[in-house]
Amino acid sequence: MVMASTVKVVLGSIAFAIFWVLAVFPAVLLLAIGRTVGSLLGAMLMVIFQVITPEQAYTLPLIFQSLVFCLEQWLLVCILKG
């Protein structure tokens, strides 16, 4: 397995830290942008910082895993509310 360059690791860590802060504290700094926008911003930063390529961002396994995760969360909410 080939290790990524230090620059990519640092930029990826910065993008993840920004995503994490926005996901955990959605109303941080009086910006009520929410978790969804925080997730999209984190993904966008990963592509802008060239940690992943746009082609990697659009691969089916990532999209499928995200959709399955959203479906699981939706079902959990429905079960807990019902």
SS3 string of the chain? CCCCCHHHHHHHHHHHHHHHHHHHCCCHHHCCCHHHHHHHHHHHHHHHCCCCCHHHHCCHHHHHHHHHHHHHHHHHHHHHHC
Global confidence as pTM = 0.58
Q: What pLDDT does residue 32 have?
A: 63
Q: What is the pLDDT of residues 11-56, one digit of tens each?
A: 888 888 888 887 777 666 666 666 777 777 888 888 888 888 888 8
Q: What pLDDT does residue 28 have?
A: 62
- pLDDT of residue 59 exceeding 60: yes
